[in-house]
Amino acid sequence: MIIVFQPLASKQDIQHVVEKIEQLGFQAHISKGVERTIIGVIGDERKISREQFALLPKVENVIPILKPYKLVSREFKKENTVVNIEEVKVGGNEIIIMAGPCSVENEKQIISTAEAVKKGGAKILRGGAYKPRTSPYSFQGLGEDGLKLLRKAKEKTGLKIVTEVMESDDVDLVADYADLIQVGARNMQNTRLLRTLSKIKKPILLKRNFSATLLEFLMAAEYLLSGGNDQVILCERGIRTFVEYTRNTFDLNIIPVIKQLSHLPIIADPSHATGKSDLVMPMSRAAIACGADGLIIEVHPRPEKAESDGDQSIRFDSFSQLVKDIKPIATAVGRSVN
Ligand code: PEP
Ligand code: MN
């Protein structure tokens, strides 16, 4: 349930309620809005009643949250969450573009790509150092050497870094290098990993699993928020359907649906969603038109030589064109790029 305070509630009034919540064995999640503070009471709601809180000093209202996801819901927080990746803000008016290769391969590849995507309008450089490959015989990523190359690219360009972590044991290491930590589609329901990430002070990019329902996606995000990390960006990257022409089916519906049901930002990944470089541009336009807060795009200097996901990677010139193309669409939906 949500406890809404009157605008003039003092620190002591709020602390009093927090203590009561904790005495009952529940968790209190405080959210300070511009006008008033609200507390999310997390635990088995059948064991408490609204009457236990409704008459406490400066409590204005007590509202049950009926949905299974609580802290990620719009009922809990009306205003959009803005995720701060240092000075880069995802979920505000500006559309944020993340771009780079699927995998970090070598210094020349990552530095040249970083420079090109920065020039083209990206704010965040993507690149995998730990790769979740279907085949154990495929390139698995450079590991920490890849992270070091990402750091070099950051020092050269000023771009922020997003990179994937696959295991709980690697979280501290990856967090040392990344500004935004990616949970890949295959790990969306790795609850141990989610719990570990919920305890760190780094924003998380949570990609939807290719077979996850809306509810499963939001419940995965709930793991992060309920553990204490509310800096979460969702990402739609395509789901598996009977369609085999494209690698996945881009579920654009989920973008406006998430906007209705959650306050968290959501970005789109047209590269994995389509699997085809020539579809990345039109589907980027579509994602912005339906309300995505950003894009994550695979870009490679020579896609035909890429160690992973070459078929869906676009070249530098196409990336610059893509950013130009989405600008008028962003303006049409009341957003900006750059
Ligand atoms: C990736 O971003 O390269 C990746 C492996 O993504 P996903 O987890 O969405 O497949
Ligand atoms: Mn990839």
Burial class (CB in 10 A: 0-12, 13-18, 19+), 175: middle
Average pLDDT (176-192) is 98
pLDDT in tens, 275-317: 999 999 999 999 999 999 999 999 999 999 999 999 999 999 9
| pLDDT for 336 beyond 90 | yes
Has domain 83-332 been given CATH number 3.40.140.10?
no
pLDDT at residue number 278? 98
- Bridge partner residues of 52 (DSSP): none
The domain 2-63 having CATH identifier 3.40.50.1100: the answer here is: no
Q: Which of 98, 102, 140 to mutate to test the pocket of ligand 1 (most atoms within 8 A of CB)?
A: 102
Q: Is any ligand 1 atom within 6 A of the Cβ of residue 138?
A: no
Percentage of residues in the chain with pLDDT exceeding 70?
A: 100
Q: Of all atoms in ligand 1, which is nearest to the CA of residue 235?
A: 9
Q: What is the number of the ligand 1 atom nearest to the C-alpha of 182? A: 2
pLDDT at 184: 98
Region 108-135: mean pLDDT is 97
If you measure from the C-alpha of residue 132 to the centroid of ligand 1, how many angstroms do you get, rounded to a whole number? 8
Q: What is the mean pLDDT of residues 144-169?
A: 98
For residues 89, 217, 309, 301, the Cα torsion angle rounded to the nearest 10 degrees is 0
Which ligand has the nearest atom to the CA of 132? 1
Contact indicator for 159, 118 with CB cutoff of 8 Å:
yes
Domain boundaries, the chain: 2-63, 83-332
Q: Considering only CA atoms, which residue is closest to atom 10 of ligand 1?
A: 185
Say what the pLDDT of residue 35 is: 85
Instruction: Note the pLDDT of residue 251.
Output: 98
Is the shortest distance between the CB of 247 and ligand 1 below 6 Å?
Answer: no
Residues in the chain: 338
Average pLDDT of the segment spanning 173-180: 98
Q: Report whether residue 300 contacts ligand 1, using a CB cutoff of 6 Å.
A: no
DSSP 259-316: HHHBSS-EEE-HHHHH--HHHHHHHHHHHHHTT-SEEEEEB-SSGGG-SS-GGG-B-H
C-alpha torsion 237→291→175→108, nearest 10: 70
**Binning pLDDT at 50, 70 and 90, where does residue 212 land?**
very high
- The stretch 14-28 carries a mean pLDDT of 94
pLDDT exceeds 90 at position 47: no
> Which amino acid is it at 111?
I
Going 165 to 178 to 104 to 117, the CA torsion angle's sign is positive
pLDDT in tens, 187-198: 999 999 999 999
d(CA 315, CA 102): 13
3-state percent helix, strand, coil for the chain, nearest multiple of 5: 40, 20, 40
* pLDDT at residue 34 tops 90: no
Q: How far is the CA of 302 from the centre of ligand 2 (A)?
A: 15
Ligand 1 atom, smallest distance to 184 CA? 8
Angle at which helices 254-261 and 214-227 pack, to 10 degrees? 40
Closest CA to 302 of 292, 291, 311, 293: 311
Mean per-residue pLDDT for 241-248?
Answer: 97
Q: Which atom of ligand 1 lies nearest, measured to the CA of 308?
A: 3
Mean pLDDT of the chain: 96
Q: What percent of the chain has pLDDT over 90?
A: 93
Q: Is the pLDDT of residue 43 over 90?
A: no
What is residue 46's predicted lDDT score, i.e. its pLDDT? 82
Task: Please tell me the distance between residue 272's alpha carbon and the centre of ligand 1 in angstroms.
Answer: 7
Q: Is the CB of 287 under 6 A from ligand 1?
A: no
Q: Is 208 in the pocket of ligand 1 (CB under 6 A)?
A: no
CA-closest residue to ligand 1 atom 4:
184
Alpha helices (H) in the chain, listed in sequence order: 11-23, 51-54, 107-120, 144-157, 171-177, 191-198, 214-227, 254-261, 270-274, 277-289, 316-332
How many CA atoms lie within 13 Å of 268's alpha carbon, on the beta-carbon side? Answer: 28
CA 56 to chain CA centroid, Å, is 37
